[in-house]
Amino acid sequence: ELSHPILTYQLYDSVIHFSNLTKEGRLNYARDLVIKKLPDQNYVVLKFLVEFLSLVVDRCDMNKMTAANLAVVFGPNLIWSNDKTMSLTAIGPINSFTEFIINNMHNIFIL
């Protein structure tokens, strides 16, 4: 169990508001959150995890784990609020952000 989320408490509100953005603005917003606002150690761990999840998605025809399915499993484990409660209204935006970074890994992370 992680004592702190990989996507920090400070990014929680920004991630929750991600789904309110226009589709055109999401890439720059996600890139800004991940590259500019995430601590270096968290960035390295997130990048490694997303690279691995991307490999899993590459085999989704065999394992049925699409980016959306992986987001449901991993999203709530990447970020949560400081009071450690998970609102049902927060699950959708968190999963949406997680799916987006998995699907857009090459455009978000510095390779």
Burial class for 51, CB neighbours closer than 10 Å (0-12, 13-18, 19+): middle
Mean pLDDT of 14-30: 95
* pLDDT tens per residue across span 25-67: 999 999 999 999 999 999 999 999 999 999 999 999 999 999 9
E strand or H helix at 46: helix 40-58
User: What crossing angle do the helices spanning 88-103 and 40-58 adopt, rounded to 10°?
Assistant: 80
Confidence of residue 2 (pLDDT cuts 50, 70, 90): confident
Q: Which amino acid is at 66?
A: T
Tokens matching residue 1: 């169990």
pLDDT of res. 83:
81
CA distances to 60, 86, 108 from 81, rounded to whole Å, are: 30, 7, 23
* pLDDT tens per residue across span 79-106: 998 886 667 888 999 999 999 999 999 9
